[in-house]
Every structure is written in structure tokens, then in C-alpha cells.
């Protein structure tokens, strides 16, 4: 499925990759080596791929130079946040590879993240039209990201995350950047207000689905995801699978929440929490919600003209639910 999508946007995706590489050039050897380490880490580039598909779906099949710039900016910004997150989360591994923080230290990872962020903004500033509008979109996403991370830290320390809190966190941390990547692409080809509204709904639902899938996979971990199993629980984060189990077994909620708060000091409690999620339908609940987000994303596309770009956008939404990493 994803291979077919990549083939459809292959020439445009190559232009984005070239622009990412050219954006990161530096005559400082340490910086160049750090950039190469990140670029060599793989990743599916889902946000810029979505941006290219959106532009084609809204325009009847073409992209503009600004589409390429904005798609590039979305991937540069995404990786900037990951470099910062690795420091905040003390993550030694990402996508099965050592992080920059692990290889070069937290200071290098923060500085590299700053460098990628500035280069993302540079690409937007080079746009030929709608520069202010798109800058505001990316600025809002940066604010959302910071607020989402802080809210998650607050709730993890208090142990009182509700589903409403969770939804705000995943919008801020994940769906907001999907929204910006897609909307900026729609703007780059002069999409109508009606189509931009549809694209916003599509992208937010795909972003929510993407994060719910990540949170389900966090309970699995290991080689498949390139992350330690149960990392969220070790950090005191209460995500949708656990919230779903609480709905089925409210009488044990207080005790399990207390256990989550103690996992950092008593890692053996993690297995008990995972068993609670399994025994009380937490995974099934999260999978149902995941499916609902995918369905809403696909429905939102009906406003767009029929064609291969729209079909691939629908496939991309489904891919977020079916991916293994």
C-alpha cells in the first residue's frame, strides 16, 4: 500500500529529499556528521508525502515549488522535535538506531534540533506567496507541541489523565503537525475554502490515528518498533489502551493509576498494568477508536475530486492503522 503511494509521488518526493539535504549543508564537520546520522535513520516521511498527495488532490494533479518548500519544512520541523524529544525523554534509541543524544550527547542533540528548526523556517520564508499565512500555521504547531508536551508532563506527574486530556495531548503533539503539513500544501495550490476545510478534517483525524497506533505499539515495543517496550508506562504516561481498560473496570482504576505512578521505581509493576489492559479490553477499545479516526479521515475526502491522489490519501489513512512500525 505505502509502496504504491511512494511510486505515485516519486518525482516530487525526490525533490523534497533533495531540498532536505540541501537545507542541511554545512561546512562544520561535526554538524554534517550529525545530520547524516539523522538522515540515515530512515523514517517514512509520512507528513511530506501527505502534503504532496494533498496538493495533487486539490489541484488536479500538480504541485508547485511552494508545495515542495512547505513539505520539506514539515519534515525538517518533525525531525527537529524528535531531536529535542530524545533529550527530554532520555531516549538512547529511535527507529532501532542510536539517537544523536546517545552518540554525541544531549547538547549536540538540542543544537541540531535548533538547526533543523531554523532551516524549516528558512524554507517557508523562501515561498513565493502566502508566506505569512503558512508561517502562522507552523508557529501554531510549535506552540501546540510545547503545550502538549507540558500537559503530558503535568498529567504524568499527577497520574490523573482523562480521555479528554489525552485527546488534547495527541492533537497538540502529533495531529497539529499533520494538519499544518496538509493545509500548507492545500494553500500552495490555491485550494478553495471548502477543500481546505476537508483537508483539515482529514489531516487531524489521520494525525490522531497515527498517535493512537503509536500508543498501542508502545505496549509491544522491541525490535518491531525500535523502542523499549512500555516506555510510556515507565514515564508515567496514561494512554488510550489503559483509558479504555478503565472504562471496562472502573473499580480497579484508582489502584492501577497508583501502580503506574510507581513503575519508575518498581518496573515489575509494568507487567501487571499490561495484563490489566489485556484482560479488560483496552487494546480492543483503542483499536476501535483508531478505526473511527481512519473512517472519519476517509469520509472527509469525499469533498475532493475523485482520482488517484484522493485514493492514495485514503490509503495513507488506512496505512496509519495497519503499519507495524
What is d(CA 157, CA 251) in angstroms, rounded to the nearest whole number? 22
Q: What is the pLDDT of residues 280-325, one digit of tens each?
A: 999 999 999 999 999 999 999 999 999 999 999 999 999 999 998 7
pLDDT of 57 over the 80 cut: yes
Torsion on CA atoms 255, 261, 267, 272, rounded to nearest 10: 20
The closest of 186, 233, 178, 163 to 209, measured between CA atoms, is: 178
Q: What is the pLDDT of residues 115-141, one digit of tens each?
A: 999 999 999 999 999 999 999 999 999
How many structural domains comprise the chain?
1
pLDDT of 228 over the 90 cut: no
The closest of 201, 292, 297, 178 to 240, measured between CA atoms, is: 292
The closest of 213, 179, 178 to 291, measured between CA atoms, is: 213
The closest of 325, 269, 317, 257 to 1, measured between CA atoms, is: 317
Read off the pLDDT of each residue in 150-160 and give the average, rounded to a whole number.
95
pTM attached to this predicted model: 0.94
Residue 190 belongs to a domain with what CATH number? 1.10.600.10
Q: What is the pLDDT of residues 5-33, one digit of tens each?
A: 999 999 999 999 999 999 999 999 999 99
- Residue 229: the pLDDT is 63
- Residue 44: the pLDDT is 83
Which range marks the domain in which residue 53 is found? 2-322
Which pLDDT band holds residue 223 (cuts at 50, 70, 90)? very low
Q: Residue 76 phi/psi, 5° resolution?
A: -65, -45
What is d(CA 168, CA 118) in angstroms, rounded to the nearest whole number? 27
Amino acid at each position: 500500500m505505502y509502496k504504491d503511494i511512494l511510486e505515485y509521488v516519486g518525482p516530487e518526493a525526490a525533490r523534497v529529499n533533495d531540498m532536505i539535504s540541501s537545507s542541511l549543508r554545512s561546512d562544520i564537520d561535526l554538524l554534517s556528521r550529525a545530520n547524516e546520522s539523522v538522515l540515515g535513520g530512515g523514517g517514512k516521511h509520512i507528513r511530506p508525502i501527505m502534503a504532496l498527495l494533498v496538493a495533487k488532490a486539490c489541484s488536479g494533479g500538480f504541485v508547485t515549488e511552494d508545495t515542495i518548500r512547505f513539505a520539506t519544512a514539515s519534515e525538517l520541523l518533525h525531525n527537529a522535535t524528535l531531536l529535542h524529544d530524545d533529550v527530554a525523554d532520555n531516549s538512547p534509541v529511535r527507529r532501532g538506531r542510536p539517537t544523536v543524544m546517545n552518540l554525541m550527547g544531549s547538547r549536540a542533540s538540542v543544537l541540531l534540533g535548533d538547526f533543523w528548526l531554523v532551516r524549516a523556517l528558512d524554507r517557508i520564508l523562501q515561498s513565493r506567496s502566502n508566506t505569512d499565512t503558512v508561517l502562522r500555521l507552523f508557529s501554531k504547531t510549535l506552540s501546540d507541541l510545547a503545550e502538549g508536551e507540558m500537559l503530558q508532563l503535568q498529567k504524568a506527574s499527577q497520574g490523573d489523565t482523562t480521555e479528554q486530556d489525552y485527546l488534547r495531548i495527541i492533537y497538540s503533539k502529533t495531529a497539529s503537525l499533520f494538519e499544518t503539513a496538509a493545509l500548507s500544501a492545500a494553500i500552495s495550490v490555491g485550494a478553495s475554502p471548502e477543500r481546505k476545510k476537508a483537508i483539515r478534517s482529514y489531516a487531524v483525524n489521520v494525525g490522531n490515528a497515527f498517535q493512537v497506533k503509536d500508543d498501542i505499539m508502545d505496549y509491544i515495543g522491541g525490535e518491531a518498533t525500535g523502542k523499549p517496550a512500555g516506555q510510556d508506562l515507565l514515564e508515567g504516561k496514561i494512554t488510550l489502551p489503559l483509558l479504555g481498560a478503565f472504562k471496562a473496570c472502573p473499580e480497579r482504576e484508582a489502584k492501577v493509576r497508583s501502580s503506574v505512578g510507581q513503575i519508575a521505581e518498581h518496573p515489575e509493576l509494568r507487567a501487571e498494568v499490561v495484563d490489566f489492559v489485556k484482560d479488560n479490553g483496552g487494546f480492543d477499545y483503542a483499536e476501535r477508536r483508531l478505526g473511527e479516526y481512519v473512517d472519519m479521515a476517509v469520509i472527509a475526502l469525499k469533498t475532493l475530486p475523485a482520482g488517484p491522489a484522493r485514493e492514495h490519501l485514503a490509503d495513507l489513512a488506512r496505512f496509519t492503522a495497519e503499519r507495524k512500525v
